[in-house]
Amino acid sequence: MSLLVDNIGELVTNDPAPGDGPLGLVPEAAVVLEAREVVWVGPADAAPAADQRIDAGGGAVLPGFVDSHSHLVFAGDRAAEFAARMAGERYDGGGILTTVAATRAADDEALRATAVRLRAEALRQGTTTIEIKSGYGLTVADEARSLKIAFEVSPESTFLGAHLVPPEYAGRADDYVALVCGEMLAAAEPYARWVDVFCERGAFDADQSRAVLAAGMARGLGARVHANQLSAGPGVRLAVELGAASADHCAHLGEADIEALAGSSTVATLVPGAEFSTRSPYPDARRLLDAGATVALATDCNPGTSYTSSMSLCVALAVREMRMTPAEAVWAATAGGARALRREDVGTLRPGARADLVVLSAPSYVHLAYRPGVPLVRQVIHNGVVA
Ligand code: NIG
Ligand code: FE
């Protein structure tokens, strides 16, 4: 069964071959999907016939968003903590333990229901690929069940047992790291594609972070790092040193960090929802881009620092607050996210790519930043199926 999407006012392919610029723009375009794949892309007047047709109504079409950083397995919410911050309190990561306590107390069904609900919420807003981390369990059993749930919801699942030292290990961080690298990793690994660590003062230092990432990599997991979120620490350089797919947050970067990222295949994943919700300075994406680093945008959806599943919001914030152009931001939210997950099959619309696309009720991708807060995603096709 083939599906023709036509009457596309502006098509973002992220493939320079058929179109214009890095977004590979094709005006007055059509796309044909078959068996979960894109099979044809080009000008509408040259489109082949197909079994079914969707009329994009002159709207823009882009690849589905690739959200490469989220924490959807948790219980409870922290609206009061958010309100306190907006009244002047500082974020220091301590609230993570509030969610750890709530998550440990929740049964599997409650955790699964929240993750499934948030995944569906993201899909409605155009996110067709999403990475999901554990990290609110912090015991062997709670991390294993968190990962199992994450993996049920998305194949891009990440073991974040090293999110924070839990209270029962207070003053014994190295013992906790040994648990993470040993029994906890062994229990989580069957459900994980990635290993992550919160490399930050008050969480895990460079040596502890290196040990966690190396243990995960030795078991075949890819590395990603919560790096330089709250201070200019060693996280980014460690991520580059280990060949991590992504260094995430990157809010406090020195010249050496930027140079390291620019000379590497490690993607700088920026999560402006976190700066928004913690009222912190935004990272300067312009410096990273001008240096030649690859930048991705992600939501960091979690109940503490960024309780949004909206990639459109991230695009708008990146343009307004991080000196990205609308084209750079849309690329970062699609192809950039795919790079951060080392995926070739998503984030672009070219023959052979997965049939994931978003139809906007707007004539151009620029409207994602130009009309902030407006639900412009009119239709989502995920894996060839209208979602
Ligand atoms: O990405 N930095 C660490 N982890 C999360 C925050 C989690 C929380 O506050 O619950 C983040 O911002
Ligand atoms: Fe995060």
Q: Look at 5-14, 84-93, 205-214 and tell me which has the smallest mean pLDDT.
A: 84-93
- Cα of 242 vs centre of ligand 2, distance in Å, is 19
Using alpha carbons, select from 307, 297, 227 the residue that is nearest to residue 65: 297
- Cα of 206 vs centre of ligand 1, distance in Å, is 18
Residue 108, beta-bridge partner list: none
Ligand at minimal distance from the CA of 202 is 1
Is residue 231 within 8 Å of 257, Cβ to Cβ?
no
β pairing state of 246-249 and 52-55: unpaired
- pLDDT reported for residue 239: 98
Q: For the residues 74-86, what does the mean pLDDT come to? A: 96
User: Which domains are present in the chain?
Assistant: 2-64+347-386 (2.30.40.10), 66-340 (3.20.20.140)
Q: What is the pLDDT of residues 32-46, one digit of tens each?
A: 999 999 999 999 999
Give burial (CB, 10 Å; 0-12/13-18/19+) of 20.
exposed
- Cα of 301 vs centre of ligand 1, distance in Å, is 9
Q: In the predicted model, is pLDDT for residue 18 greater than 90?
A: no
Is residue 340 within 8 Å of 332, Cβ to Cβ?
no
- pLDDT reported for residue 3: 98
Using alpha carbons, select from 219, 283, 225 the residue that is nearest to residue 250: 283
Q: Is 228 in the pocket of ligand 1 (CB under 6 A)?
A: no
Residue nearest ligand 1's atom 9 by CA: 304
For the chain, give the mean pLDDT: 97
Residue nearest ligand 1's atom 5 by CA: 305
Atom of ligand 1 nearest to the CA of 69: 1
Q: What is the pLDDT of residues 166-223, one digit of tens each?
A: 999 999 999 999 999 999 999 999 999 999 999 999 999 999 999 999 999 999 999 9
Task: Classify 222 as helix, strand or coil.
Answer: strand
Is residue 213 within 8 Å of 223, Cβ to Cβ?
yes
Element (H, E) at 269: strand 267-270
Q: Is 95 in the pocket of ligand 1 (CB under 6 A)?
A: yes
**In terms of DSSP H, where are the helices of the chain?**
79-86, 96-105, 108-124, 140-153, 173-179, 185-188, 206-218, 235-241, 255-262, 272-278, 285-291, 311-321, 326-331, 337-340, 367-370
Q: Look at 16-20, 103-107, 212-216, 373-377 and tell me which has the smallest mean pLDDT.
A: 16-20
Q: What is the pLDDT of residues 46-58, one digit of tens each?
A: 999 999 999 999 9
Using alpha carbons, select from 190, 271, 289, 206 the residue that is nearest to residue 240: 206
Q: For the residues 306-330, what does the mean pLDDT come to? A: 98
> 21 falls in which pLDDT band (50, 70, 90)?
confident
- pLDDT reported for residue 83: 96
Ligand at minimal distance from the CA of 74 is 1
